[in-house]
Amino acid sequence: MTATPPPAIEIKGTLPFNKLADYKLIAFDMDSTLITIECIDEIADITGKKAEVAAITEAAMRGEISDYKESLRQRMALLKGVPIADIERVLQERLQLTPGAKTLIDAAHAAGLKVLLVSGGFTFFADHVKTQLGIDFVRANIFEVQDGKLTGGLVEQSWGDICDGEEKRRTVLGLASLMGIAPAQVIAVGDGSNDLPMMREVGLSVAYHAKPRVRAEAKVAINQGGLDRLLEVFP
């Protein structure tokens, strides 16, 4: 028998606010959420290491590898020596915005919300997405580069070197505090298990074409269509 697909949009319980304008901040994961690819997997594909890297990525997103930092270090080690030129090719040839991303972010801005991109991915791609979508804030990881090639490491930043699920949670709550808003006034959108820490803290958690574990916990799950389908939740 063929399994019945989930509905296009699932809503569980009562939302804290019924109008988009009553929220003040919307936070997005990047890979497979704001963009259609997992950047690290595409880098690995270009360099002939996709099977090894993608297997670790998938296990981490499903929650089978509980230590996201260690999973990322393993994947980065496999990419040691990759030229920056290859990473530029991924950005130019493979990175595509998720359908509906710009529509949703434009609507959020029009309603008075600030937009945060918080990613376990890389600023190399996140800064590009920020510019394309007019995003207000970004937190992501930075490749360590030497002589035009990846070293396999990441650059230490003021908050640490790897943005994992816990760092996503801290970033969202910290920004909400600086804005003077309650966590209930925040929307968090993601697809993988490392998005759950921030999704559990906010007023409205949204799973976008997500892993089953994430979909099960989210207040809203978008299973079909683009990100702009979130606007259908609000009258």
DSSP 171-209: HHHHHHHHHT--GGGEEEEESSGGGHHHHTTSSEEEEES
Dist CA 61 CA 53 (whole Å) = 12
> Is 29 in the active site?
yes
Dist CA 78 CA 96 (whole Å) = 24
**Residue among 31, 41, 191, 195 flagged as catalytic:** 31
Dist CA 114 CA 214 (whole Å) = 24
Contacts 24+ apart (CB under 8 A), 170-178: 171/27, 171/116, 171/118, 171/139, 171/198, 172/25, 172/27, 172/116, 172/118, 172/198, 172/201, 172/202, 173/201, 175/25, 175/27, 175/114, 175/116, 175/137, 176/24, 176/25
> Is 228 in the active site?
no
Coil, helix or strand at residue 28 = strand
Q: Can you list the positions of beta strands (E) in 78-223?
A: 114-122, 137-141, 143-146, 149-154, 186-190, 204-208, 220-222
**Residue among 29, 41, 191, 195 flagged as catalytic:** 29
Please give the distance of CA 25 from its chain centroid, rounded to a whole number.
15
Active site residues: 29, 31
